[in-house]
Every structure is written in C-alpha cells, then in structure tokens.
Amino acid sequence: MARYEVLSEDAMATIERGWRRLLEEIGIAFHHPEALRLFREAGQTVEDDVVRLDADFVLEQIAQAPSTFTLHARNPERSFEVGGDSMVFVPVQGPPFVRENGLRRDATFDDYCRFTKLAQVYDDFDTAGGLVVEPNDLPLDSRHLDMQLALLTLTDKPYGGSQVSLTGALDSLAMAEMVFGGADALARAPSLYTVVNVNSPLLYDGRMLDALIAYARAGQPAIITPFLLMGAMSPASIPAALVQQTAEALAGVTLAQLIRPGTPVVLGSFLSHTDMQSGSPGFGGPESAIGLFCSGQIARRLGLPWRSGGGALTSSQVPDAQAAYEGLNTMLPAFLAGANVVLHTAGWLESGLVSCYEKLVIDLEIVRTLREEFTPLEVDEASLAYGAHQEVGHGGHFLGAEHTLERFRDCFYRPLLSSTENYQRWIRNGGNDSAERATAIWQAALERYEQPPMDSALQAELEEFVTRRRAELGD
C-alpha cells in the first residue's frame, strides 16, 4: 500500500533546516570520552562534552549505513530483513510490572520466560526483543545473563542484547559469539540488536554510549531512539519535536559509523505528548499518529530503516476499550507510515509500566487485522465469480453455492479474539468479554509451546558461562 505522507516539500525543507541548525549551533552532549575523541578526530567541534556537528558531515556518515540488512536467526528460517518494504514486529519491552487475569503485580523471571515463549509460539512476532519485562526477582547486576540465556534457548529467532550496562552488552556479545561461531562470523551475519535510547533533550548518557560503542564495534545493529514527550522532553510542538528527534537520532547514527563504517543501524522514533493537566505521559492520541506519519517520511528521505514509536501504545490502566482504540491509533499509523521495526507491538499497558498478557492477545488481533488489510487485493476473472451468479440466480443465497463451499474455510479472515456469536449462544458459553477470552487464548498458546532444539554441548557451555559470570559479578 502506498505510504501516507503528510509533509510537503516545503515542510520537509523547513524540518531539514531545523535539524541542521540544532546540530551545528546547539549540538548534542555525549557523556563518554571515547565518543568525544572520535568526534574530535573526525574534525567536529567539541567543547567540554558538547559536540557541534557539521550537517553535511552527518549526511556523509549516515550514507555509509545500509538501507536494508538481514538479522540472522539460530534457526535460519526465522531470519528476516530490516528495511525496505518489510515490517518486523516485537512485543512490549521494558515494563517492571505485569497484569495477568485482572491482577497487577511486580514482574518476575517466570513472566519473562512466559512472554518469551509466547513470542516463540506466535509467528506474528519476528523476535521476542530483549526485555519483555524486568525480572525483579533476580539480582540487578546479573539478571541480564539469565535473560540472554532464556532468549537463546527458549526461542530460535533473532533477539535483543542487553544495553543497560557495558557489562551487560559485553556478556550478551560473548554469548552470541558462542552460538553463532565467533566474533568474525557474528559481524558478517548480525544476529542480535540493541536499543539505544537518547536521554532527551540532546544528551547521550554514558551507559547508552557504552552499549552503542560495544555493539557497533561488533557489527551488530542498534535501534537509536530519542524518547520525546512533547512539553517535557521536547518543545510543545510537533514540528519542533520532529527536528529534535531527527537531530538526536542522526548524531547517534553518525557515531556508529565512526566506530565501524557500514554498521547497520535503525533510525528510531518515539514521539508522544504530555498531559498538560496532570503531567503524565499520553499515548494513542492524534499527536502520536501525526508524528508517526512524519517520522516515516523523514526516515525514507534519509535512506535509513525506521523504527516507529509504537506499537499498540496506550495510557489505559486495564485492557479495555481505551486500550484497544489507543493501541489501534498508533499501530495503524505505523503501517501507513511504512515502519520497518515495530516495538511494543503487543502487551503494552499503563503508559509502558505494565506488560499485560490479555492486552498482548488484543493487540495481536489488531496486527492480524491490519496485515490482512494491507495484503494486496487480487482482482482477476476468477475473483468476479460469474459462475456463482449463474448458479444462484435472482433472489437466492450463496451459502450453499459451489463457489462458497469451495472457499468457506479460508475465504475470510478468522479472528483470534473477536466474538461473532449471537447473544444467547454467547451467554451459554459464559458471557465472557474480550479480556476474559484473551486469558484463555494466551494460556492455550503457552500449552502449545515447544522449546526449539539446541545442541546439548552448546547449551551446557552457555549455562557454564552464565554460572561463572554470575559469580564474578558477586551474585
């Protein structure tokens, strides 16, 4: 389907002048001596920890990044392309809490494993990501080891490496090297990625830069993402936020190319608003949708793969109608704007504080519906079904027609969650609403889960590494 673009050529030129001016006159702060050294050696202006970047130099650097690349899975059938016309779907990432069958509580490692298994069961997900929930019952300094081991053994899809510390990044890369044949093989065929968030406005902190530098040196892609809530982390204006988002992201992409020219990157966006009455973040509103349309258009102009800022995002506290319509209002624009990577595809609740099992199923229904809508319509002589009219004639019905009987099993989309029962039958079957039906669906999906095979010697090597590193980290 054609991309939905809302910016005129004049508007695009104005935004480009804006991000150029922001980079050249105000600059970006980098709290990392190695980053500052690289920029200084590249001839950029460095004063204290602020780098003022020549915009033409930035464009030269980002031109080295591939417009498409492949992420390679442990199971080659699970590998996928990033960029171009492809879309990659990732479940919710990062919440410290979960909601399960009406109960909100701290997330645990068991939740982490269950969400990872669901990401393996459902082909709608191309990857489980790296942090479907924060396992609060594991020690903070070493929990990345358990999460990486789970991703490598419970799924056979590409996955996300830890980025919360240099230790986490290096351990993630070391484990990936065990699985994929060493550092050189991993660099030739990237198999894991990371998400580098900008500490907006206009600042990269030390932890995120540690991760960016480590993954770029290893040739693994980073999704470089400003986090902008207009009115808080950016001016209260969509054009101003787009300028800031572009400047921040391009500064990180430039650094990645200075570290390893040609390393794959994804231009990230995460743009929403702040509720001016409460100060809380707002998701699923019209500003997010407009920001998505514009962000996709800008990314295509720059020739980079693009991560959309949603996802089925919502501010709702429960998996209700608000959660569904706000989720749709960020997911549909991501499709229309041509997103290549969609984080928080399913399960996001309560402004990202909660991973919800029931919301995951609701959001999968949205994704599946949109995928059907975006499948090109085949129009040919057979699809006109002239013979069916000859058979049925005037005033008849097509339920028993040969054309219908040949096609009824798969002629229409079959919902995962939605109910089409009449009222009486719905009552007889329990009168369950969508959230209650979703509970039964995700529980049944977990029962279908089958762990993908892994060589026993390799699994033992990974487990030994995790045990040893956990002890070295003091846990």
Write out pLDDT tens, residues 350-402. Answer: 999 999 999 999 999 999 999 999 999 999 999 999 999 999 999 999 999 99
Decide if 89 is inside a domain: yes
One-letter amino acid for residue 115 of the chain: F
Cα end-to-end distance, the chain, whole Å: 51
8 A C-beta contact, residue 403 and residue 388: yes
- Whole-number Cα distances in Å, 256 to 34, 218, 223, 261, 279: 12, 11, 11, 7, 34
Predicted local distance difference test score (pLDDT) of residue 91: 98
Q: Which DSSP category does 234 fall into?
A: B
- Any bridge partners for residue 307, and if so which? 268, 341
Q: Assign residue 235 the CATH number of its domain.
A: 3.20.20.480
Q: What span, in angstroms and rounded, lies between the C-alpha atoms of 346 and 93?
A: 9
Predicted local distance difference test score (pLDDT) of residue 2: 84
Helix 143-154 / helix 166-180 crossing angle, nearest 10 deg:
30
- Tell me which H or E stretch contains 16: helix 9-21
Write out pLDDT tens, residues 124-174. Answer: 999 999 999 999 999 999 999 999 999 999 999 999 999 999 999 999 999
Decide if 396 is inside a domain: no
Decide if 292 is inside a domain: yes
Write out pLDDT tens, residues 312-363. Answer: 999 999 999 999 999 999 999 999 999 999 999 999 999 999 999 999 999 9
Q: What span, in angstroms and rounded, lies between the C-alpha atoms of 339 and 370?
A: 13
Q: Which DSSP category does 208 fall into?
A: H
Decide if 53 is inside a domain: no
- Residue 310 CA from chain centroid, whole number: 7
Residue 1 clears pLDDT 80, i.e. is over it: no
Decide if 34 is inside a domain: no
Q: What span, in angstroms and rounded, lies between the C-alpha atoms of 77 and 60?
A: 35
- Whole-number Cα distances in Å, 106 to 173, 286, 294: 28, 31, 36
Q: What span, in angstroms and rounded, lies between the C-alpha atoms of 283 and 330?
A: 8
Q: For residue 385, give the 3-state DSSP assignment.
A: coil
Q: What is the CA radius of gyration of the chain?
A: 24
Question: What is the dihedral sign for C-alpha 352, 357, 362, 367?
Answer: positive
Decide if 95 is inside a domain: yes
Tokens (6 digits) for 7: 């910016």
CB neighbours (10 Å) of residue 295?
29
Write out pLDDT tens, residues 223-247. Answer: 999 999 999 999 999 999 999 999 9
Residue 446 clears pLDDT 80, i.e. is over it: yes
Tokens 């992409």 correspond to: 253
8 A C-beta contact, residue 135 and residue 162: no
CA atoms within 13 A on the CB side of 253: 34
Write out pLDDT tens, residues 65-84. Answer: 999 999 999 999 999 999 99
Tokens (6 digits) for 37: 């050294």
Write out pLDDT tens, residues 23-71. Answer: 999 999 999 999 999 999 999 999 999 999 999 999 999 999 999 999 9
- H-assigned helices in 260-302: 286-302
How many independent structural domains does the chain possess? Answer: 1
| Alpha-carbon dihedral angle through residues 313, 30, 53, 243, given to the nearest 10 degrees | 20
| Alpha-carbon dihedral angle through residues 346, 347, 350, 354, given to the nearest 10 degrees | -140
Decide if 280 is inside a domain: yes
Predicted local distance difference test score (pLDDT) of residue 310: 85
The model's pTM: 0.95
- The CA-CA-CA angle for residues 53, 54, 57, to 5°, reads 110
Residue range of the domain that includes 92: 61-373
Cis status of the peptide bond prior to 431, with omega within 30 of 0: no
- The CA-CA-CA angle for residues 450, 451, 452, to 5°, reads 110
Tokens (6 digits) for 259: 């570290």
Decide if 24 is inside a domain: no
- Whole-number Cα distances in Å, 455 to 71, 153, 181, 470: 21, 10, 13, 23
Share of the chain above pLDDT 70, in %: 100
